[in-house]
Chain A
Amino acid sequence: MAIKDIPDTECVLSGSAACPGCPATMALRTVFKALGKNTVMIVPACCTAVIESLYPKTCFDIPVMNIAFEAAAAGASGVEAGLRMQGKKDTTVVAWAGDGGTYDIGIQALSGAIERQTNFIYICYNNQIYSNTGIQRSGATPLGAWTTTTVGGKTENRKEMGDIIRAHHIPYAAQTCVSYPEDLYNKVKKAKSIKGSKYIEILAPCPPGWRFPMEKTVEMGTLAVETGAWALYEFENEKMTFNGKSKLLLEKKLKPKPIEEWIKYQGRFKHLFTPVRDEKTLKSIQDNTDIIWERYRSCYL
Chain B
Amino acid sequence: MKNIMINTGNYIAAKAAVMAKPDVVAAYPITPQTTVVEAIASFIKSGEYKGEFICVESEHSAMSACIGAAATGVRTFTATSSHGLLLMHEMLHWAALARLPVVMCNINRVVGPGWNIWADENDSISQRDTGWIQFYCSSNQEIFDTVIQAFKLGENRDVALPVMINYNAFILSHTSMPAEIPTQKEIDDCLGRYKPLWKVDPKNPITFGNIIMPEHYEKIRRAMQDAHENAKKLIPKITKEWENKFGRFNGDLIEKYKCEDAETILLAMGAIAAESKVAIDNLRREGYKIGLARIRTFRPFPNEEIVKLSKKADLIIIDRNISCGNEGALFTEVKSALYKKSDVKVTGFIAGLGGKDVTYNHIIDMYKKSIKGKFKDTIWYGFKEVKA
A112 and B58 CA atoms in complex are apart in Å by 9
Please tell me if B127 contacts chain A, counting CB pairs below 8 Å. no
Complex interface: chain A residues within 8 A of B68 (CB): 42, 65, 67, 74-82
Report whether B24 and A81 are in contact in the complex, using a CB–CB cutoff of 8 Å: yes
Q: A63 contacts B24, CB within 8 Å?
A: no
B287 to chain A, nearest CB (A): 57
Contact in complex: B24, A60 (CB < 8 Å): no
Residue B211 contacts which of A55, A74, A81 (CB distance < 8 angstroms)? Answer: A55
B73 contacts A by Cβ under 8 Å: yes
The B contact surface, by secondary structure, is: mixed
Query: Which residue on chain B has the smallest CB distance to residue A55?
Result: B212
> Is B209 a contact partner of A77 (Cβ separation < 8 A)?
no
Q: Mark B40-78, 1 if CB is under 8 A from A, else 0.
A: 000000000001101111101110111111111110100
| In contact, B71 and A55 (Cβ under 8 angstroms) | no
A157 interface hit (Cβ, 8 Å): no
Q: Does chain B have a CB within 8 A of A14? A: no
Cβ of B326 within 8 Å of any chain A Cβ, yes or no, is: no
Chain A 57-81, CB within 8 Å of chain B: the 1/0 string?
Answer: 0101111111110110111111111
A116 cross-chain contacts in B, Cβ below 8 A: 54-56
Interface flag for A24 (CB, 8 Å): no
Kindly report which residue of chain B lies nearest to residue A36, judged by CB atoms.
B202
- CA separation between A64 and B60, bound complex, in Å? 21
Which residues in A have their C-beta under 8 angstroms from that of B201?
63
Interface size on B, residues (CB 8 A): 42
Q: Check B200–A58 contact: CB distance below 8 A.
A: no
A85 adjacent to B216 (CB under 8 Å): no
Are A67 and B23 within 8 A (Cβ)?
A: no
Q: CB within 8 A of B210: which of A52, A82, A85, A88?
A: A52
Residues on the B chain within 8 Å of A71, using CB: 60-61, 64, 67, 91, 94
Contact between B216 and A61 (Cβ–Cβ < 8 Å)?
A: no
The answer on a CB contact under 8 Å between B57 and A115 is yes
Give me 23 A-to-B residue pairs in the complex whose CB atoms sit less than 8 angstroms apart, sorted by A's number. A17-B211, A54-B210, A54-B212, A62-B202, A62-B205, A64-B208, A65-B208, A66-B208, A66-B210, A70-B60, A71-B60, A71-B61, A75-B65, A78-B26, A78-B64, A78-B71, A82-B71, A85-B51, A85-B52, A86-B23, A91-B202, A109-B58, A109-B60
Q: Which residues of A contact B (CB under 8 A)?
A: 17, 37-40, 42, 49-50, 52-56, 58, 60-68, 70-71, 73-86, 88, 91, 108-109, 111-112, 115-116
16 new A-B contacts at CB < 8 Å, known A75-B64, A79-B200: A40-B202, A50-B211, A55-B210, A61-B205, A63-B201, A66-B209, A67-B209, A71-B61, A75-B68, A79-B72, A81-B68, A82-B23, A82-B24, A82-B74, A108-B57, A109-B58
